[in-house]
Structure 1
Amino acid sequence: MAPLGKAISVGYDGPPNADTKIFRGDIDAEWTVGNVPNGGYVLALVLDACIRHQAPTPHRDPIHVSAHFLQATSIAPFEVHVRTLRKGRGFTNVLADLVQQDRTRITSHLIFGSLEPPRLVPPSRYARRLPLYAHPSAAVDTPMARPWRFKEHIRWAADPQLRAQNSPDSPTRTSSATIGGGGLVWGAWFELTGADDHVTPASIAFLADTFINLPSLLPRSERNGLVSGETWFPTMTLSIEFKAPIPPPSERHSARTVGLYSTGTFWGEPQGRHDAYVEIWTAPSNLGVGKEKDGWRDDQFCLATATQMALAMPMAVNAARAKYDAPKAKL
């Protein structure tokens, strides 16, 4: 059982110039939702393998990843098969498949290049601003009522002002005269609790998949019988665009805390299919520490954005998936 930085671990012992490199590792049993590994954590393993694949090249930074989750992974050894599709002047396209028990579980297409700081930043009036209200020093821890086995390695403080926008009497609710609008929002300061842990490009994939889904944000009267604590939200597709390099630790930027902001708008069939949009922001300090200073918001910027399609299924399906993937005894 390891903190995130150690749990994201892949190795390679093949020839350096192989057309397809096969990275290997073991999925950590603690980074699961119920009995199934968290989708963002597993994608982080794929991303880490690709970052290692690209390390000797001029295009070392992940720019974009698009992943399709073909089948749930299991707590077992894995391989990531990585090959270069195309090398260009500005970008390199990479294909990667995560394989377990001779089955492709995740297939992904990645773009690598050189990541530079964003151009639209404060004080530009066109710049996107940090969407969280309170400074992390004043944030209050929020319990995690989720079937996550990795809770001891993380903590978060949900933004109550964002959550209030989801109430039935909020002015953000729609009517027959509304144009656009609708949906639900959520945000929080999120911290990796390991003293030696820190946010990395690979861990962005996990962070992009750690939020409260649209069905869970709805009032009980709108959930159509769904019980959030008894529901599994498997990811079907996940795309991430990296917006800026991760800044070094300083008085302005924390090494292991980020701001998360998400929205969801549509929910329907089949299998409770719903959408999510997520932003990952830098943070000025860890939770409950530091001091709010004038202009602290102007120093924060977006590290990545993500979109995903997920399902809403009973946790019993999660448990059955783990049993199905259990290794069979040899006769």
Structure 2
Amino acid sequence: MAPLGEAINVTYDGPPNADTKVYRGNVDPEWTVGHVPNGGYVLALAIQACVQYQESTLHRDPIHVTAHFLQTTSVAPFEVRVRTLKRGRGFTNVLADLVQQDRTRITTHMIFGSLAPQPGSVGGLAPPSRYARRLPLYVHPSTASETNMVRPWRFKEHIKWAGDPHLRAQNLPDSPSRTDSATVGGGGLVWGTWLQLTGPDERITPASIAFLADTFINLPSLLPRSERGGLVASETWFPTMTLVIEFKARIPAPSERHAARTVGLYATGTFWGEPQGRHDSYLEVWTAPSELGAGVDQAGWRDDQFCIATATQMALSLPMEVNAGRAKYDAPKSKL
């Protein structure tokens, strides 16, 4: 059992000139939802393998990740098989499969490049442009109130968060965000928080972004009980089927303007229904001006913050009994 930075651990195992390189490790038992490893955490293992695979090249930064979760993973040894699909001047396309018990559990296609500013580059939307996207959280981390986590997450002691009450209010039945027969578009639910890794030596890394992008309150859980159709969030498992991450910028070094182990998360969900309670999520990962309970809420503090990554995913809504059953089925078999 380890903090996230230690739990995302892979080791290269094989000849240096192999066409397909194999990285190995063990899924940490604490980074699970119920009995099954968190989808973002196991994707982080695959991303970390690819980061190490690319570290000696000119294309060291993950730019885009597309992951398909073919089977549930288990708390057991794994290997990530990585190979280059195409290497170009600006980007390298890499394929990586996370394998357990000789079965491909997650298959990914990643694009690597450089997130450093390019000489002569033109364009881009950033403040002070009035068209630029701004940090979508209302409350500064220094004054944000820590909120409880009610999901069946075994990694709760390694993270803490402070939900944004202004965003939460937008989900109320009497909010102006609700729709009626005269509404054009609209609908859906929103959620946001400051999330901090609790270990004092923790740092936000490209691989950990995958975990952060899969750690939020989704649309079915945000709905009022009257709209859930009997669904009880604490008794429901929301397995990820697909997860797509686009890395917008390099993670800044810790400073007076940017926290080392805290990020802002903003999520929206619009659709939910059959089959299997399928629902969509869109999420943004932002820099934070300070750790929770630290820093100063002063005018203009949002101007220095920027989006690190965006993510979209498709997930299901299944009873937690399915979660336990999958874990039992995938448990490593004794050789005795």
TM-score, length basis structure 1: 0.99
Residue 286 in 1 paired to residue 329 in 2?
A: no
User: In 2, Cα distance between the equivalents of 1:329 and 1:198?
Assistant: 37
Which shifted more, 8-17 or 129-138? 8-17
Equivalent residue for 1:183? Answer: 188
Residue 224 in 1 paired to residue 241 in 2?
A: no
User: In 2, Cα distance between the equivalents of 1:119 and 1:25?
Assistant: 39
Equivalent residue for 1:44? Answer: 44
User: In 2, Cα distance between the equivalents of 1:236 and 1:131?
Assistant: 27
User: In 2, Cα distance between the equivalents of 1:196 and 1:294?
Assistant: 29
Residue 323 of structure 2 aligns to a residue whose secondary structure is helix
What is the Cα deviation at residue 13 of structure 1?
A: 3.0
Equivalent residue for 1:270? Answer: 275
What is the Cα deviation at residue 119 of structure 1?
A: 3.2
CA contact (8 A) 2:126 2:132 kept: yes
Equivalent residue for 1:21? Answer: 21
Equivalent residue for 1:137? Answer: 142
Which shifted more, 71-80 or 318-327? 318-327
2:320 pairs, out of 315, 321, 324, with 315
Unaligned regions of 5+ residues in structure 2, if any? 118-122
Equivalent residue for 1:9? Answer: 9
The one-character-per-residue Cα deviations of 1:285-325 (angstroms, maximum 9, x if unpaired) are 01111111221100000000000000000000000011101
User: In 2, Cα distance between the equivalents of 1:120 and 1:252?
Assistant: 20
1:40-119 map, 5 Å: 40-116=40-116, 119=124
TM-score, length basis structure 2: 0.97
Equivalent residue for 1:236? Answer: 241
2:131 pairs, out of 126, 131, 153, with 126
User: In 2, Cα distance between the equivalents of 1:328 and 1:277?
Assistant: 38
1:290-305 map, 5 Å: 290-305=295-310
Which shifted more, 7-16 or 275-284? 7-16
User: In 1, Cα distance between the equivalents of 2:254 and 2:45?
Assistant: 24
What is the Cα deviation at residue 133 of structure 1?
A: 0.2
Amino acid at match of 1:273: R
Residue 249 in 1 paired to residue 254 in 2?
A: yes
What is the Cα deviation at residue 6 of structure 1?
A: 0.2
Residue 11 of structure 2 aligns to a residue whose secondary structure is coil
CA contact (8 A) 2:50 2:96 kept: yes
Residue 248 of structure 1 aligns to a residue whose secondary structure is coil
Task: Please tell me the root mean square deviation across aligned C-alpha atoms, in Å.
Answer: 0.9
CA contact (8 A) 2:83 2:94 kept: yes
Identity score, percent: 78
What is the Cα deviation at residue 69 of structure 1?
A: 0.1
What is the Cα deviation at residue 16 of structure 1?
A: 1.9
What is the Cα deviation at residue 329 of structure 1?
A: 2.9
Equivalent residue for 2:201? Answer: 196
User: In 2, Cα distance between the equivalents of 1:3 and 1:258?
Assistant: 16
Structure 1 residue runs of 4+, over 4 Å off? Answer: none
CA contact (8 A) 2:13 2:21 kept: no
Count of residues in Structure 1 that have an aligned counterpart in Structure 2: 331
Amino acid at match of 2:54: Q
User: In 2, Cα distance between the equivalents of 1:249 and 1:156?
Assistant: 19
